[in-house]
Structure 1
């Protein structure tokens, strides 16, 4: 990756050269390095036993666990090497165990920032970020699908996601946040399937987007309120990183002003296009 700029994400394992340390927790199971290598190779990646200039992605496993394959010092040396190469202008992406599991599942993984521990020459900290376990990779715009007119059963929660108004609202929200240098992201692999999310400081915003054109406003808003409260409750029970802020994003201002007071009383940020007040 010499001379290339990292956009903050590892989007795929294909074509990457990996270096591993320790074991990785994949879907609740500790996975030894040998198995991680085999999985990566099946997805188009190669690997090196030791850190070198050819490595493009460094995968660090669990350091505190007694069952880690590397000793503490060997692990530290590899991570320090990655930090040293970054200092020299050669960027190597660093992903944690969750990130590696995300890549296996076809999701983007956050490239982690590194920071040397104060007063130590050989201890490097991999920094956590607000939204870990909640926010996934950059949000991808979906193509609008057409529904068969004769469909007998409908999932109201999913039906709205395919409408042009729904996608237009997400595009407008993305543009609004981009002007603030905030990245709009999808849900993490094991998080509730909210429409969009972002972080600001320690606050993590999880949003449901509802179109109002050609639909019952009351029905859409009630559905959206229930969804974002459910998302927030699930994430709070999971004790994820960051303060959860549920958001209901509407295509336009609702006709009935009572929804604003109801949302406020429920701890929900209610906002709408084109200004997206509060976002």
Structure 2
């Protein structure tokens, strides 16, 4: 943000001056702009003067917001026109609709318990949903079982959410992180519950989401 040719520094100085006049000017970096394009929230950065006199943006100091972002919203899903890959694309669309339906049901379930479902914060792994209970934070990966092999979807979900939890625990060692795998429906094989217990993972499914 200090490229003289692009006048980034002067732009930030102007933003700082406007803030000093009591006007709120939101400053986002490239990562934040990318998040906005994907429909996700972006943090408004603070402005600080470096020793060189330049003004540079820095992330505001937060606690929970370092993991959880803004309220979770459903994404729009659509149907593709028929074509040569009608079968595969139809399955993909069905899985996408089922995924968002499960996300929506989870949001409603948490809301009924007075819990707000959140997105990931900027810079945090892109889990599907997150929420807090007391000082503990829960991060969830949602997997549909429509139009795909059940075992592959569950294995993929387990790997993803355990990876996200490991990254978050490394970045925030003082925060208790609970990984959760949320399925569209009860899996046909009972063995997944035992596997989840063995690796410290909560396994839940719609429509009851028993366990949260």
Pair in the same fold by TM > 0.5:
yes
Aligned-pair Cα RMSD in Å: 3.3
Residues in 2 aligned to 1:267 and 1:172: alpha-carbon distance in whole angstroms? 24
Paired positions, count: 179
**Alignment correspondent of 1:49:** 20
Structure with more of its chain in helix, by fraction: 2
2:98 to 165, 177, 185: 165
Runs of 4+ that moved beyond 3 A? 32-38, 99-106, 126-129, 145-151, 159-162
Change (3 A) 1:260 1:144: same
Residue pairs, 1:214-253, within 5 angstroms: 214-239=147-172, 242-253=175-186
- Distance of 1:37 and 1:180 partners within structure 2: 45
Matched, 1:254 2:181: no
Relative to structure 1, the CA distance from residue 135 to residue 186 in structure 2 (aligned partners, 3 Å threshold; closer, same or farther) is: same
Distance 1:235-1:48 versus aligned 2 partners, 3 A rule? closer
Bigger Cα displacement from structure 2, 259-268 vs 142-151: 142-151
| C-alpha distance in structure 1 between counterparts of 2:190 and 2:180, whole Å | 17
SS for the counterpart of 1:230 is: helix
**Distance in 2 (alpha carbons) for counterparts of 1:263 and 1:209:** 15
* In structure 2, distance between residues paired with 1:180 and 1:108: 27
- Show structure 2 runs of 5+ residues with no match: 2-7, 45-59
- In structure 1, how many angstroms separate the alpha carbons of the residues matched to 2:94 and 2:211? 23
Q: Equivalent residue for 1:133?
A: 66
Matches within 5 A, 1:50-199: 52=22, 55=23, 106=36, 107-109=41-43, 128-130=62-64, 132-146=65-79, 150=84, 163-199=96-132
Question: Measured at CA, do residues 48 and 207 of structure 1 come closer, stay the same or move farther in structure 2, by a change above 3 Å?
Answer: closer
Contact in 2 for aligned 1:133/1:241 (Cα 8 Å) = no
Question: Partners of 2:139 and 2:175 in 1: how far apart?
Answer: 11
Q: CA deviation at 1:127?
A: 8.5
Partner of 1:82: none
1:36 is aligned to: 12
Alpha-carbon shift at residue 239 of structure 1 (Å): 2.5
Q: Is the 8 A contact 2:141 2:161 kept in 1?
A: yes
Query: How much has 1:49 moved relative to structure 2?
Result: 2.0
Distance 1:228 1:33, change over 3 A: same
Q: Does 1:201 align with 2:172?
A: no
Would the alpha carbon gap of residues 276 and 259 (structure 1) be closer, same or farther in structure 2, given more than 3 Å must change?
A: same
Which structure 1 segments of 5+ residues have no match?
A: 1-24, 26-31, 60-98, 111-125
Tell whether the 8 Å contact from 2:70 to 2:118 is kept in structure 1 after alignment. Answer: yes
Whole-Å Cα distance in 2 between the matches of residues 160 and 240 of structure 1? 39
Inter-CA distance 133–49: structure 2 relative to 1 (3 Å threshold): same
TM-score normalised over the length of structure 2: 0.70
Please give the TM-score of this superposition, normalised by the length of structure 1: 0.54
